[in-house]
Amino acid sequence: MGTRHVVGPMAERPTVTAVVVVFRYDDESTEQCIASLASSLGATVEVCVVHNGDVGDWPAVDELCRRYGATALRSPLNHGYGAALNLALVKVPADQAVFLLNDDAWVMPDTISACLDVLAEAGERCISVAPMVVHADAPERVDSLGVVLRPSGDAFNAYQGRQRSDIAALAVDVLGPCFAAALFRPGAFAADKVGLLSERYFLYCEDVEWNVRARHHGFHSVAAPHAIAFHHHALSTRELGEPTRIGLVQRNLLVMTLATLSPWGVFKVWTRQAVVHTKALIRDPHRRPRLRALAGAVALVPWAVAVRRRNRGQHPVADHDLFRFSDGHAPAIDPATYTLS
């Protein structure tokens, strides 16, 4: 799946396929992303780029991939982030690890190598590693070090907004990584483990749902604060606009909880969100997106119910074991301006 970039010892380390989805092509940020992966040290990295944006950008994406020895895949239609990732994931050999990176992010040369070390030390039931993702415009502050899920159904990045220097450089248990930057064990996306990403969300919450599925199937994840990635928060999706983003997030949070939580957990989330949305429909200027979100969630109920059994596995973990990772965490991004609060 592309030219291998190898520097340093490879003893017993799996080859890594790094997958990038490009929706909003940008000369500077897209090249910075791909170039950083191609410059990785201490790991064998094959880069695969999936383009699901404007067809007019395809020649530039293809040429950029050729320049860095990456494989370029063209999605004929934009069916969303999960569908684009799955195009690449189904082509990854079973013995290769996977590193996901947003097209508005980039990594340090040793980031993937450091994540591989943590993965090896964490044991076979560790399915993924979350590097420390910092804000490109404020690299002293954290964008994500995993994700969290609250009993309310709200999900957001763990450690968001905290000072990078305040976090010890030790591996720590997390619900799972934010897919802006994340390493996965070979076979993680196979049907007999956690499986591919759900494609019904289109955008937002795919990573939280996948992480919860992993927990239900007996896997865990750790964060590697010493492995650094940089992220221009939401640079590739800002043009969607705040109303559209609200609609997608609110719909997907409801659907994701129905597809993964216990019946009692689903009841509490949906009841609480019904109150929140009722108040918002009276006061909030974004009434139409919220109405579309609610209608969209109801439309996806049959699908979410159908996948619940598979998602929750034979021995699902209790809701409180999922929610505990949110203790002490709060979102720190202004959703209107994408700036740190």
Is 115 in the same domain as 167?
Answer: yes
Is 206 in the same domain as 137?
Answer: yes
Question: With b meaning 16 or more CB within 10 Å and e meaning fewer, what string describes 265-280?
Answer: bbebbeeebeebbeeb
Bridging pattern class, strands 155-157 and 147-149: antiparallel
pLDDT of residue 4: 43
Report percent pLDDT > 70 for the chain.
Answer: 93
Is residue 341, in this structure, part of any structural domain at all? no
Q: Is the pLDDT of residue 237 over 60?
A: no
Is residue 336, in this structure, part of any structural domain at all? no
Q: Is the pLDDT of residue 49 over 80?
A: yes
Is 174 in the same domain as 303?
Answer: no
Is residue 340, in this structure, part of any structural domain at all? no
The enclosing domain of 179 has a CATH number of 3.90.550.60
Is residue 333, in this structure, part of any structural domain at all? no
Is 113 in the same domain as 194?
Answer: yes
Is residue 206, in this structure, part of any structural domain at all? yes
Q: How confident is the model at residue 3 (pLDDT cuts 50, 70, 90)?
A: very low
Tokens encoding 142: 């954290």
Q: Which of 205, 238, 271 is the last residue of a domain?
A: 238
Residue 1: HSE in the Cβ half-sphere, 13 Å Cα cutoff: 26
Is 260 in the same domain as 144?
Answer: no
Is residue 335, in this structure, part of any structural domain at all? no
Is residue 205, in this structure, part of any structural domain at all? yes
Is 225 in the same domain as 296?
Answer: no
Q: Which of 238, 258, 286 is the last residue of a domain?
A: 238
pLDDT digits (tens, 9 = 90+) for 91-102: 999 999 999 999
Is 282 in the same domain as 198?
Answer: no
Q: How confident is the model at residue 201 (pLDDT cuts 50, 70, 90)?
A: very high
CA angle, 178 then 292 then 150, to 5°:
35
pLDDT digits (tens, 9 = 90+) for 117-163: 999 999 999 999 999 999 999 999 999 999 999 999 999 999 999 99
Is 58 in the same domain as 199?
Answer: yes
Is 299 in the same domain as 152?
Answer: no
Is residue 49, in this structure, part of any structural domain at all? yes
Owning domain of residue 218: 9-238
More confident residue, 6 or 330: 330
pLDDT of residue 146: 97
Q: Which of 238, 271, 287 is the last residue of a domain?
A: 238
Mean pLDDT (the chain, rounded): 91
